[in-house]
C-alpha cells in the first residue's frame, strides 16, 4: 500500500528460510519505543516470534533506546507482545507444532495512521543446496537481464 513506510527489513530471513505464508501483526510498544522506531533504530536480524500461553511474542528484536528520553527509557531487547486474531494464533500454533515451521519477522513498517506493524512469515529452514540453487537462479536472471539490455541497445 502506498501509505506504508518500511522501517526495517529482515533480509536474512529470506536467505535462511523459505517463506510459505505471511501474516500482519500489531505490536504493543511503549512511548520511547515508537519514537525510536520512527527514527529507524530497529534491528530484526536475530528476532523470531513465539506462541506462549495462547499469546504471540516477539523475541530478540532490538529497538535502540530513544536518545532524548529520560530515566523512563525502555529495555532494547525486551520481549514484546504481538497483536493477532485468535484464529491466526491458533493457525500459527498448529502449523509450527505439526510441520516444524518457525515464525520469523520479515519487515517492520508504519501505516498511514502512524501505527507500527510487523509482517510475520511462516517459514521452513533452507538447506545448503537450496541456498546455492537460489544464488544460481539469481545469477542466471541477472545475466539474462544484462544480455537483453545489451541486445536492446544494439551491442
pLDDT by residue (tens digit) across 93-124? 888 888 878 899 999 999 988 889 999 999 88
- Which pLDDT belongs to residue 11? 87
Three-state SS at 70: coil
- Which pLDDT belongs to residue 124? 85
Q: Is residue 24 within 8 Å of residue 118, measured between CB atoms?
A: yes
Binning pLDDT at 50, 70 and 90, where does residue 2 land? low
Q: How far apart are the C-alpha atoms of 43 and 135, rounded to whole Å?
A: 24
Closest to 65 measured CA to CA, from 28, 107, 34: 34
Task: Kindly list the domain boundaries of the chain, sorted by start residue.
Answer: 5-126
Percentage of residues in the chain having pLDDT higher than 90? 36
* 1 pLDDT higher than 60: no
Q: How far apart are the C-alpha atoms of 154 and 33, rounded to whole Å?
A: 54
CA dihedral 95, 101, 103, 104 (to 10 degrees): -150
Alpha helices in 17-127 (DSSP H): 31-38, 86-99
Rounded average pLDDT over 48-53: 91
* Cell reading at 17: 528460510
pLDDT by residue (tens digit) across 121-142? 998 887 777 778 888 888 999 9
Q: How far apart are the C-alpha atoms of 98 and 90, rounded to whole Å?
A: 12
* Cell reading at 78: 525486551
* 45 pLDDT higher than 90: no
Q: Is residue 107 within 8 Å of residue 119, measured between CB atoms?
A: yes
Which has the minimum average pLDDT: 30-34, 52-56, 57-61, 143-147?
30-34
Q: Is residue 116 within 8 Å of residue 26, measured between CB atoms?
A: yes
- Which pLDDT belongs to residue 133? 83
pLDDT by residue (tens digit) across 58-102? 999 898 888 777 777 888 888 999 999 999 999 988 888 888 788
**5-126: what fold?**
Small Protein B; Chain: A; (2.40.280)
Amino acid at each position: 500500500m502506498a501509505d506504508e513506510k518500511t522501517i526495517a527489513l529482515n533480509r536474512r530471513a529470506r536467505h535462511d528460510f523459505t517463506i510459505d505464508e505471511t501474516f500482519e501483526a500489531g505490536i504493543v510498544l511503549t512511548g520511547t519505543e515508537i519514537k525510536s522506531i520512527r527514527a529507524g533504530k530497529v534491528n530484526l536480524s536475530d528476532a523470531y516470534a513465539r506462541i506462549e500461553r495462547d499469546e504471540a511474542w516477539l523475541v530478540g528484536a532490538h529497538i535502540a533506546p530513544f536518545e532524548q528520553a529520560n530515566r523512563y527509557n525502555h529495555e532494547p531487547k525486551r520481549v514484546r507482545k504481538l497483536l493477532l486474531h485468535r484464529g491466526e494464533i491458533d493457525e500459527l500454533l498448529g502449523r509450527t507444532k505439526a510441520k516444524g515451521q518457525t515464525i520469523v519477522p520479515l519487515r517492520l513498517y508504519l501505516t498511514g495512521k502512524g501505527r507500527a506493524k510487523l509482517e510475520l512469515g511462516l517459514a521452513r529452514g533452507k538447506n545448503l543446496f537450496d541456498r546455492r540453487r537460489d544464488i544460481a537462479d539469481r545469477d542466471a536472471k541477472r545475466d539474462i537481464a544484462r544480455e537483453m539490455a545489451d541486445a536492446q541497445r544494439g551491442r
